[in-house]
Amino acid sequence: MRLLVLILTSALLAQTTPQTRSAPEDFNKQMAQMRDTWVKEFNAGQATAVVKSYLPDAKLMRWEDTFHG
């Protein structure tokens, strides 16, 4: 769960321009919405929708190897 929150936070921050910083309440609301969407799509088996929630340069790190993209 912590990894999911970290990934979603990174995705949100990467899409936010420095000039438009949100108030903490807005950030919390956006994070909750992103999390809820991810969980809904994951539980529905919508792999394509889940993948779209990650950055294009995301890395999947495993014990035996690391995958990029």
Would you state the pLDDT for residue 68? 53
In eight-state DSSP terms, residue 22 is P
The answer to whether the pTM exceeds 0.75 is no
Position 22 scores a pLDDT of 56
Q: Would you tell me the crossing angle of helices 2-15 and 24-43 to the nearest 10 degrees?
A: 120
Give the separation between CA 59 and CA 8, rounded to whole angstroms.
13
Amino acid at site 45 = G
Tell me: the pLDDT tens digits for 38-69?
999 999 998 888 888 887 777 666 677 665 55
Q: Give the C-alpha separation, 23 to 18, whole Å.
A: 13
Domain locations in the chain as residue ranges: 27-69
